[in-house]
Every structure is written in structure tokens, then in C-alpha cells.
Structure 1
Amino acid sequence: MIWLTWRQFRTQAAVVFAAVAVLAAVLAVTGPQLADLHRTAGSGLVDRVSGSDQSLYYTGLLVVLAVPAVIGMFWGAPLISRELETGTHYLAWNQGVTRTRWLATKLGLGAAASMTAAGLTSLAVSWWSSPIDRAVNGGGATDTYFPRLDPVAFAARGVVPMAHAAFAFVLGVALGLVLRRTLPAMATTFALYVAVQLVVPLWIRSHLAAPDRTTVPIEPDGAPISVQDEAGQIIAHLDDVPGAWVTSQQTLNAAGQPAPVPSSFPDCLRTESGPPTLQQFEGCIADLGALGYKQQVTYQPAGNFWALQWAETGLYLGLALALTGFCAWWIRRRVT
């Protein structure tokens, strides 16, 4: 049964693992030079990365983020839906193999291959990007590169991509079982996986580890301050906490209570000739600070990276196990 499953699965697996091997080879050639540059430049590395290495940095991010989605669509969704669609599952069940063992073999082999492919890709990209990640966490400029805790970079580092791949694969299998058609299962797998990948960083990830909280005075010489919209929403930038992921902010009045900025503040920022000058902006900020307003910032410090990694890994593996149980129930009760 394992050999038959592998024969059915080997073409898709070969394509993905070949692509991973090519990427790993490119990273292995260029990575040592980047590491040497970091040893020389330290946090200044972010200003000295070549254009080709910068392109490779973003390519690595995109590849690691895409691998679980590709696995779910092209490995998970067709794995069983193709057999249900053509009716070949009846032949397999008449060869002395129960449907439960048939499902377990396909899920076990596919999930192991999925986690291996995602793990190898993440390992290669994380190793290559580690000099840039260390430079950013050490206080290097972050306008071009993401801190490891940034929602984009976080999903492309460490062990989380392996859990993402396992979840995407089992999600594809489950949808294939339910829909019994390959193309609809592939499209639905992609849509649901992307939806989950948006929901988790927006509403769940920040609660997987205890955050830190700080209160920043609103004053021209304090933490960098910007104004987000015409209503005068204040944004404080924690330049003194490199690598942090700011999850929420709120403005506090002189009594320490959440409150909007006074209406006089947006009016202060408006001029007939357009945006205020730097001197005018600092004057408005100073007036707001004089009224006792402060900015409370909630953030995940860079040191929480691995705590969040393991917590999210457990979350996705738990979802994958739940979907596995659903598949086992569905194939026994609903598939005929």
C-alpha cells in the first residue's frame, strides 16, 4: 500500500523537491558572502546588501510562504478526490485494504513529505537570511527588510512553515473527500488556506505569548511620532526596541484613560498651503504632550520569537489532527 501510494504521489513530490534543491543550491552559494559581510558591518549590513541579494531575500520569503499553499492545492486536494472522481477507490478497497488503512497510508506519507519539503525550504531560507535578520534585530533600518516577528517574515522562518504545510495538506485532503471533485477541491483549498493565514496573524498570533506594554510620552524629543489620518490618530514608533512587533496602540489622556486626541490637534496640523512644516508639526505635538496625552503601545518583543513559533506550530498541528479525525469519520460514514 505504501509503495502504491508513493507511485501515485512521486511525480508531484519530485517537482517540489527539485525546486527546493535548486533554491537551496543558490542560497548555499550566496549565503557565506552575506554572512562575512555581516561579521564586518554588523547592523549596518542592511545598507550594504546588494540588489541581487535583496531580490533573493524577497524570493526566499515568497517561496516559503507559497510552499504550503502549493502543497495543499497540488498534493492534498487531488490525493483522494481524484480516486473518488474516477471510482478507482473501489478497486483499492477490494484488494484486502480497508478504507481506514487506505486513508491512513495516504495521509501519513503525504503529511510527512509535506512537512519535509516545507521544513527544508524554511531551513535554507532562514539560514541564508539570518545575517539580515540579526542586523534588523540589532537596530538596523527596517524600511526595506522585515523583523522576524513581522507577520510576513514570521511565517517564513523557523518551524512554523512545517505546521502550515501539514495543515494545508490535510485541509486539501478533507476538502477532496467532501467535494469529490479535484478542481473545486484545489480552488477551495487555496481560498480557505489563504483565509486562515490572514485570520491567524490579524487576530490570534498576538495572543499566543504574553506581550509587553509601554507608555510613550508624546513630545517632540521622545519616541518618533507620526499621524495616521485626518482625525489625528497618533502612532508611536519603538525605535529603541528593535525587532519588536507592535500589535496595538491607544492614546491616553492626562488621567491615563483611553481617549481620542482633542479636536484642536487635527486643526493644528492643517495649513492653507498643505502639510505642516516640521517645525509646525513639532509644535502641535508639544501642545498635545503639554495636555498630558501619552501613547500606550502593546508589542511582542523580539525575544518572544520562539515562544510564538512553538505556540503557532502547536495550533496548526492541532488543526491538522482535527481535520485528520474528520477525514477518518467522513470516509467511514459518508463515502460509498
Structure 2
Amino acid sequence: MIWLTWRQFRGSAAMMAAVLGVLAVALAVTGPGLASAYSAGIADCTTDDTCAGFYNRFFGEYDLPFLALTLVVLILPALIGLFWGAPLITRELEAGTHLLVWNQSITRGRWLAVKLGLTGLTAMAAAGLCGLMVTWWSDPLDKSAAEGMALMAPLVFSARGIAPMGYAAFAFVLGVTVGMVVRRTLPAMALTLAVFAAIQLNLPTMVRPHLVAPVTATFELGMENMESLSIPREGGESPRLFLREAVPGHPGSWVLANELLAPSGQVISGGDGGAGAVINVSSTSGPCAPGSAAAGAGDGCLGEVNRLGYRQQVTYQPLERFWLFQWIETGIYALLTVGLTWLSFWWIRRRLS
């Protein structure tokens, strides 16, 4: 039974091995150079405190391969569900070859177990290896990425660590189960893609932020968490402040909420984008007046804003929780995979003929 399953599957396995082999060679050749360039840049920028500019230049130079590899890891589990999971049983049902096996003293449970075990473990190994290779290669870029592409950001998180292995296992068993219920290959592939995509799109925004209680803290305004402070050229208009989605002292964090607080503690709208938050500070005299040297530099006006009590309030998941979240989310997908596996065994014994 194992040999028969392997003969049916070896073409797909060989193609996957070839693709991963090419990817491994490409990453192994370019990875050390990428890490060396990052280390050299960090060594240079720390002497004159220009690392912020280096991060932007370094990430901008490699952003296309960074995004391409991230998308490869994200798409791979879906492809496994579509082309390995959904057709695994449906092609047997459509051709009637399953009856030949079932009539030769091989139980339905054993038949399904061999197919799930051999193909499913290969799928997990392929996705896990791909994810870990890309995680290793992307490490310098993950350290220098902008806030929206940081390691804890939803898009990047799903393409790093061990999580892709859990996604692949779930997508594969989902495809098998849907195929057994639908009994037709193309409808099973379409339904598998729809269900898997819906879960992958909603879990990062609806479930992942609450796996562990997020941290909420307030910070003074500065270069780390402020995009800009717009001072009007003519007096009479109030300055406007724009926040960055960043947490001072905690780079790489996943920002869930980013608000500007007035001295009274009330939230000021517009601080996280749009037209900016209006700051109630004098623009006719003092540090924020258009004609003052402090206003031209921006530092004196920012100091006045901090003195008045304006603060950033941010809710976030710190980068230190990356591996904790990876294990929790992989565990969730493992439970879903076990549940679907049980359903597939129940279905083949009770409902499939």
C-alpha cells in the first residue's frame, strides 16, 4: 500500500524537491552576502548615529526579493491544499480505483491513513523547510524593515518560523476532507481555496492579536514615534502632529492601536494619519511661533508639546513574543488538522462508498 501510494505521488514530490533545491541554492549563495552587508552597515552607522537612514536604504535595496520570498511561503500551503490535498481522494473516486483496493483485504482506514501520512508529512516537511530557509535569509531585512513589514506584522509573521508547516498540514487535510465530501476534483479545489483563504485572512486580524493580552503604554513624543510636526508659516493656525506606528524602545513590535492623548487624557483624532492631530499650543508666540528659531528646528516646539502633556498611547504586541505566537498559532492549526483528520476517517467509514 505504501509503495502504491508513493508511485502515485512521486512525480509531485520530485517537482517539489526540485523547486526547494533551487530555492535553497539561491538563498545559500546570496544569504551570507546579505548578512555581511547588514553587519558592515550597522558597524558604520552606530559611530555617527545614522542607523535610521541605513535601515531605509538597506531594506529599499532588497525589498523586491524580500516581498517575493514572503509571498512564496504564504502561497505554498494553499498550493499544497489545492494540488495535493483536494485531488488525493477525488481522483480515486472519479476513476473508481478505490474499489479495487478496498476489495483486496485493505481496510478503508488503512488506505486513508497511508495516503494522509505519506503525502501529509511530505507537505509539512516542504512548507516547514521553505519557511525556515526564508526566515534565515530574511533575518537582516526583518531587523531593518519598516513598521508595516516588521517581523510581527501579519503578512510577514505568517511567512516566518514554523507557522507555514502548520498552515500546510491544515490546508492539505482540508483539501482531502472537502474532496471526500464533494467527490469532484475541481469543485473541491475551489472550495478548499475559498475556505483556506478566508481563514488565513481573518485569523491574523481577529484571533492573533488576542492570543496573549497586548501591552498598552504611553510615551513622550520624539523621533521614534513621531512622523512629523507641521508648524504653520503664519501665526494663528495650530500645529499638526503625525504619529508613526512605532513603539519607542521596542522596535519591530506589532502596533494594534496608535493614538495621541491630550493633556486631559482624551484621544485626539487624526494623529495616526489623515490631516494630522491639531495641537492646542500657541503659534503666535513661544517655541511654536513661525518666526522663532526653535520652530524652525522643530525641537523646541516638540519640547513644548511634551511639556504641555501630549503623549502617544500605543497598544502593541512586542517582538519578544514572536516565537510564543508562532507556537500558539501552529498549535491552533494542529488542532484543526487533527479535527479534520478525525472527520475524514469518520466520513470514509460511514458515508463514502
Q: Is TM (by shorter chain) over 0.5? A: yes
SS in 2 for 1:29: helix
- Residues 1:238 and 2:241 are matched in the alignment: no
> Which residue number in structure 2 is paired with residue 79 of structure 1?
88
For residue 47 of structure 1, the aligned residue among 57, 68, 71 is 57
Residue 20 of structure 1 aligns with an amino acid whose one-letter code is L
> Which residue number in structure 2 is paired with residue 12 of structure 1?
12
> Which residue number in structure 2 is paired with residue 130 of structure 1?
139
Paired with 2:255 and 2:242, the residues of 1 have a C-alpha distance of 14
SS in 2 for 1:96: coil
SS in 1 for 2:207: helix
> Which residue number in structure 1 is paired with residue 348 of structure 2?
331
How far 1:258 moved relative to its partner? 6.2
After the TM superposition, which residues 63-212 of structure 1 pair with which residues of structure 2 at under 5 Å, given as runs?
63-134=72-143, 136=144, 142=146, 146-212=149-215
After the TM superposition, which residues 296-315 of structure 1 pair with which residues of structure 2 at under 5 Å, given as runs?
296-315=313-332
205-214 or 89-98: bigger deviation: 205-214
How far 1:190 moved relative to its partner? 1.1
TM-score norm. by structure 2 comes to 0.78
Change (3 A) 1:246 1:13: same
Paired with 2:215 and 2:311, the residues of 1 have a C-alpha distance of 17
53-62 or 158-167: bigger deviation: 53-62
Structure of larger gyration radius: 2
SS in 2 for 1:97: coil
Residue 238 of structure 1 aligns with an amino acid whose one-letter code is A
Instruction: Verify the 8 A CA contact 2:241 2:277 in the aligned structure 1.
Output: no
After the TM superposition, which residues 218-229 of structure 1 pair with which residues of structure 2 at under 5 Å, given as runs?
223-224=225-226
Give the percent of matched residue pairs that are identical in Structure 1 and Structure 2.
47
Change (3 A) 1:121 1:92: same
160-169 or 12-21: bigger deviation: 12-21
> Which residue number in structure 2 is paired with residue 3 of structure 1?
3
Change (3 A) 1:286 1:34: closer
TM-score norm. by structure 1 comes to 0.82
Structure 1 unaligned blocks of 5 or more: 270-276
Paired with 1:207 and 1:224, the residues of 2 have a C-alpha distance of 26
Instruction: Verify the 8 A CA contact 2:269 2:277 in the aligned structure 1.
Output: no
Paired with 1:87 and 1:197, the residues of 2 have a C-alpha distance of 34
Instruction: Verify the 8 A CA contact 1:38 1:131 in the aligned structure 2.
Output: yes
Residue 148 of structure 1 aligns with an amino acid whose one-letter code is L
How far 1:200 moved relative to its partner? 0.8
SS in 2 for 1:48: helix
How far 1:237 moved relative to its partner? 2.8
> Which residue number in structure 2 is paired with residue 29 of structure 1?
29
Change (3 A) 1:62 1:223: closer
Instruction: Verify the 8 A CA contact 1:254 1:293 in the aligned structure 2.
Output: yes
Change (3 A) 1:158 1:259: same
SS in 2 for 1:247: strand
Instruction: Verify the 8 A CA contact 1:149 1:305 in the aligned structure 2.
Output: yes
How far 1:103 moved relative to its partner? 1.0
Structure 2 unaligned blocks of 5 or more: 43-50, 230-239, 280-289
Bigger relative contact order (CA 8 A; separation at least 6): 1
Change (3 A) 1:221 1:39: closer
Paired with 1:251 and 1:226, the residues of 2 have a C-alpha distance of 13
* 1:286-308 Cα deviation digits (max 9, x unpaired): 99989966543110111111011
Paired with 2:115 and 2:104, the residues of 1 have a C-alpha distance of 16
Change (3 A) 1:233 1:185: farther
184-193 or 163-172: bigger deviation: 184-193
SS in 1 for 2:146: coil
Instruction: Verify the 8 A CA contact 1:234 1:251 in the aligned structure 2.
Output: no
SS in 1 for 2:149: coil
Change (3 A) 1:324 1:304: same
The count of corresponding residues between Structure 1 and Structure 2 is 313
Change (3 A) 1:108 1:84: same
Change (3 A) 1:302 1:174: same
> Which residue number in structure 2 is paired with residue 273 of structure 1?
none
Instruction: Verify the 8 A CA contact 2:225 2:243 in the aligned structure 1.
Output: no
Paired with 2:205 and 2:92, the residues of 1 have a C-alpha distance of 37
Instruction: Verify the 8 A CA contact 1:215 1:297 in the aligned structure 2.
Output: yes
Change (3 A) 1:223 1:25: closer
How far 1:311 moved relative to its partner? 0.5
